[in-house]
């Protein structure tokens, strides 16, 4: 194995890892805020990818140009999911945990069914736009331009999430996460905070979806694999930790890329699950999780 | 200012309040006393919109029925709850500033900070510290401070002396008297009978969810029968 191949793999893992990290960040944000695991998270990613694909196909606009629009749509979708489903699931009296699991799980199946209905099962891909199918060469290493653009946008999204967490709204989010029943004492409507939390979580995974769509196939089932990786990433980084999601996402990306060097490509995900099991055994709260 | 008429409430399947009627006038300090389990905390939580009630609760002539808890706060009623319910991982400063969160858009919404620091100078020294690392007394000061940041007209305090060093208890009671002078009406629930009746104008005695006696605080304090029958002292 030459150093070039290794370096190529490390850079590939880094670029993919940033996408994993951002997908996980959206999941972690919602989980950290209200202890609800969104089992439709992969489907939200898929919705953003199809939205990008359709907007590109219908309008011919560059996928990067539709990013803001898709992000706004995803935010609205997140808010709608909270008000339409989650808020109701929170008020049930019995088996609340189960209800919350099945409500998002069912939502995921429903969204996948819709995608199947409207788009059929075949794989589609975006073949145009300013980054499509282009590669840049840096110091002998080939970097696919779509992946490079995606990783920059993901980093930007993380910076934005960090800024939001420092605002007064971010403090209110943190307070709600600490004691959802106490925020009413300071006049904060927790329903409002939860809804915006869902909006932010969906918008976050939406950004990842738009960028992923510029180089990855789009199909109704595309979210499943990314969602699995996101659950692993969140558990590895620590539930509810933004920095944890970033570090764990990069770690997962690297482990995957390096595993693919030594094992058959079809086994490339073995490495991350081995690391995940080790973390769960020796540090169940994840790398940066709070107890 | 605050008027309760025939208010009943259940808490965990038990009737915690049964037909409670009471009045709190503007500028008054009113104490609610009674043994453990008499329904004192439930009474404050009912006013704050945290427990479902029957009967009527009016604040400044407007009904609080079906008003959600966060809107009760915005209308000018602030509860300092039992157990304080601070945000332990947030700093003292964040806890205080969040008290003014619902007043976003008001130019001088952080103005009460100066008042809070003059009441509790210790808080100014601990601004950057996480709320969860404060002593019990300091946490109580912070809880009262956070409540004052919402600029309440009625401040409700649930057992402010609970779990606090005796020396700091005096500070808390002194602060309550100073808050009263700022035209804030106070409804106080306390285990410490003597101190609370001393600073209160009037008092209600609760027993198993009913008002069994009410009147000027001095009179209640002097009534030997009350002390024996309802307060166990």
Residues in chain A with CB shorter than 8 Å from the CB of B149 are 186
* % of chain A at pLDDT higher than 90: 73
Residue A251 contacts residue A70 (beta carbons within 8 Å):
no
Assigned fold of A11-126+145-282: ABC transporter involved in vitamin B12 uptake, BtuC (1.10.3470)
**Among A175, A184, A189, whose Cβ lies nearest the Cβ of B87?**
A175
**Among B68, B71, B101, whose Cβ lies nearest the Cβ of A168?**
B101
pLDDT of residue A291: 60
Number of Cβ pairs < 8 A linking chain A and chain B: 74
How far does the CA of residue A100 sit from the closest CA of chain B (Å)? Answer: 23
In this complex, do A178 and B89 lie within 8 Å of one another by their Cβ atoms?
A: yes
pLDDT of residue B228: 66
pLDDT of residue B36: 83
**How many beta carbons lie within 10 A of that of residue B36, not counting itself?**
8
**How is residue B122 written in tokens?**
């210790």
In this complex, do B102 and A186 lie within 8 Å of one another by their Cβ atoms?
A: yes
CA-CA distances (angstroms) from residue B189 to A111, A283, B3, B6?
52, 45, 17, 19
> In chain A, which residue's Cα lies nearest the Cα of B150?
A186
CA-CA distances (angstroms) from residue A131 to A50, A150, A194?
18, 10, 36
pLDDT of residue A110: 97
**CA distance linking residue B48 with residue B68, whole number of Å:** 9
**CA distance linking residue B70 with residue B91, whole number of Å:** 22
pLDDT tier for residue B4 given thresholds of 50, 70 and 90: very high
Residues in chain B with CB shorter than 8 Å from the CB of A179 are 85, 87
Residues in chain B with CB shorter than 8 Å from the CB of A187 are 70-71, 73-74, 101-103, 150
**CA distance linking residue A112 with residue B80, whole number of Å:** 47
How large is the average pLDDT for residues A203-210? 98
Mean pLDDT (chain A, rounded):
92
Assigned fold of B2-229: Rossmann fold (3.40.50)
In this complex, do B98 and A186 lie within 8 Å of one another by their Cβ atoms?
A: yes
Q: pLDDT by residue (tens digit) across B178-212?
A: 999 999 999 999 888 888 899 999 999 998 899 99
DSSP secondary structure, B153-181, as one string? SEEEEE-TTTT--HHHHHHHHHHHHHHHT
How large is the average pLDDT for residues A215-230? 95
On whether any CB of chain A is under 8 Å from the CB of B147, the answer is: yes
- Chain B residues 45-104 with a CB less than 8 Å from chain A: 48-50, 68-74, 78-79, 81, 85-90, 94, 97-99, 101-104
Half-sphere exposure of A51 (CA within 13 A, CB side): 27
Domain ranges of chain B: 2-229
Q: Please give the helix or strand (H or E) that residue B53 lies within, else none.
A: strand B53-59
Residues in chain B with CB shorter than 8 Å from the CB of A175 are 87, 90, 94, 98
CA-CA distances (angstroms) from residue A169 to A174, A190, B21, B183, B194?
9, 12, 39, 31, 43
Q: Which residue has the tokens 């307070």?
A: A175
Q: pLDDT by residue (tens digit) across A4-52?
A: 888 889 999 999 999 999 999 999 999 999 989 999 999 999 999 999 9
Residues in chain B with CB shorter than 8 Å from the CB of A176 are none
């Amino acid at each position: 194995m030459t150093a070039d191949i290794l370096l190529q793999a490390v850079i590939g893992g880094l670029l993919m890892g940033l996408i994993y990290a951002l997908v996980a960040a959206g999941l972690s944000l919602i989980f950290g805020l209200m202890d609800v695991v969104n089992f439709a998270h992969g489907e939200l990613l898929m919705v953003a990818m199809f939205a990008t694909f359709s907007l590109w196909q219908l309008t011919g606009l560059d996928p990067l140009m539709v990013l803001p629009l898709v992000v706004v749509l995803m935010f609205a979708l997140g808010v709608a999911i909270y008000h339409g489903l989650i808020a109701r699931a929170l008020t049930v009296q019995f088996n609340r945990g189960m209800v919350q699991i099945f409500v998002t799980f069912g939502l995921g199946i429903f969204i996948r069914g819709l995608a199947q209905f409207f788009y059929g099962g075949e794989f589609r891909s975006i073949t145009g736009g300013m980054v499509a199918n282009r590669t840049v060469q840096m110091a002998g290493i080939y970097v696919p331009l779509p992946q490079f653009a995606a990783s920059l946008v993901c980093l930007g999204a993380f910076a934005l999430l960090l800024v939001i967490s420092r605002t007064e709204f971010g403090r209110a989010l943190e307070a709600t996460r600490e004691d959802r029943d106490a925020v009413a004492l300071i006049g904060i409507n927790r329903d409002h905070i939860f809804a915006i939390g869902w909006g932010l979580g969906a918008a976050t995974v939406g950004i990842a979806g738009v960028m992923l769509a510029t180089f990855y196939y789009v199909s109704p089932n595309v979210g499943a694999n990314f969602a699995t990786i996101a659950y692993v990433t969140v558990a590895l980084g620590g539930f509810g930790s933004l920095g944890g999601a970033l570090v764990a996402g990069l770690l997962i990306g690297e482990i995957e890329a390096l595993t693919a060097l030594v094992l058959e490509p079809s086994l490339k995900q073995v490495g991350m699950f081995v690391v995940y099991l080790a973390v769960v055994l020796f540090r169940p709260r994840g790398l940066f999780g709070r107890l | 200012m605050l008027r309760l008429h025939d208010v009943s409430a259940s808490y965990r399947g038990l009737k915690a309040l049964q037909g409670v009627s009471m009045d709190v006038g503007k500028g008054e300090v009113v104490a609610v006393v009674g043994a453990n389990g008499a329904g004192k905390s439930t009474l404050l939580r009912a006013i704050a919109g945290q427990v479902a009630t029957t009967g009527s609760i009016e604040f400044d002539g407007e009904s609080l029925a079906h008003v959600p808890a966060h809107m009760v706060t915005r209308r000018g009623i602030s509860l300092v709850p039992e157990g304080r319910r601070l945000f332990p991982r947030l700093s003292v400063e964040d806890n205080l500033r969040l008290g003014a969160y619902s007043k976003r858009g008001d130019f001088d919404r952080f103005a009460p900070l100066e008042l809070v620091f003059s009441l509790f100078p210790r808080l100014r020294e601990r601004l950057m510290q996480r709320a969860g690392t404060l002593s019990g007394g300091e946490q109580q000061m912070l809880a009262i401070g956070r409540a004052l940041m919402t600029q309440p007209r009625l401040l409700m305090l649930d057992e402010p002396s609970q779990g606090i060093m005796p020396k700091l208890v005096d500070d808390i009671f002194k602060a309550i008297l100073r808050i009263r002078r700022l035209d804030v009406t106070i409804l106080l629930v306390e285990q410490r009978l003597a101190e609370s009746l001393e600073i209160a104008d009037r008092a209600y005695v609760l027993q198993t969810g009913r008002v069994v006696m009410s009147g000027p605080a001095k009179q209640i304090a002097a009534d030997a029968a009350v002390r024996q029958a309802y307060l166990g002292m």
